[in-house]
Amino acid sequence: MHETGLSEAIVAAAVRRAAGRHVTGLRVRIGGHAIDPDVVTQGIQVAAAGTVVADAAVDLVLEPMTVRCHRCGRDEPVRDHLAMVACPRCGGVDIEVSGSDDVVLESITLASPAMGAV
């Protein structure tokens, strides 16, 4: 499952950045990927169990790619992978897909020493 690998990679990056300190929040920007945000959030929570990221709040910022059909002029965000192959409105394949497909761990929030951070 795509979301599982994505979630595990996000947690691994957060653990490296935290360097042993307790993480209370993550902000992740996901571009282009047609993903279910609830599945990714749950995947992050599962992957984080037993790590310094366990129980961290997850803030996902989704930036879907856009597809423009040269046949009918449709210009909308991509909602699924099929829209990147053919226009959902007219079935045309003369389409242009734009946007980023990057996944970026934008920030982590660390627990303050008063909260019992290590």
Per-residue pLDDT of 20-40, as tens digits, reads 999 999 999 998 867 788 999
- Domain assignment present for residue 117? The answer is no
CA distance 42 to 82: 25
- Domain assignment present for residue 23? The answer is yes
pTM of the model: 0.77
- Domain assignment present for residue 118? The answer is no
Pairing assessment for the beta strands 66-69 and 75-77 based on DSSP bridges: antiparallel
CA distance 1 to 52: 24
Number of domains in the chain: 1
Confidence at residue 117, expressed as pLDDT on a 0 to 100 scale: 43
- Domain assignment present for residue 53? The answer is yes
- CATH for 66: 3.30.2320.80
- Domain assignment present for residue 103? The answer is yes
52 secondary structure, DSSP code? T
- Domain assignment present for residue 97? The answer is yes
Q: Which of 92, 104, 23 is nearest to 61 (CA)?
A: 104
pLDDT in tens, the chain (118 residues): 478 889 999 999 999 999 999 999 999 999 886 778 899 999 999 999 999 999 999 999 999 888 999 999 999 888 777 888 898 889 999 999 888 889 999 999 999 876 554 4
Confidence at residue 96, expressed as pLDDT on a 0 to 100 scale: 92
- Domain assignment present for residue 43? The answer is yes
Per-residue pLDDT of 102-114, as tens digits, reads 999 999 999 987 6
- Domain assignment present for residue 101? The answer is yes
Domain that holds residue 38: 2-112
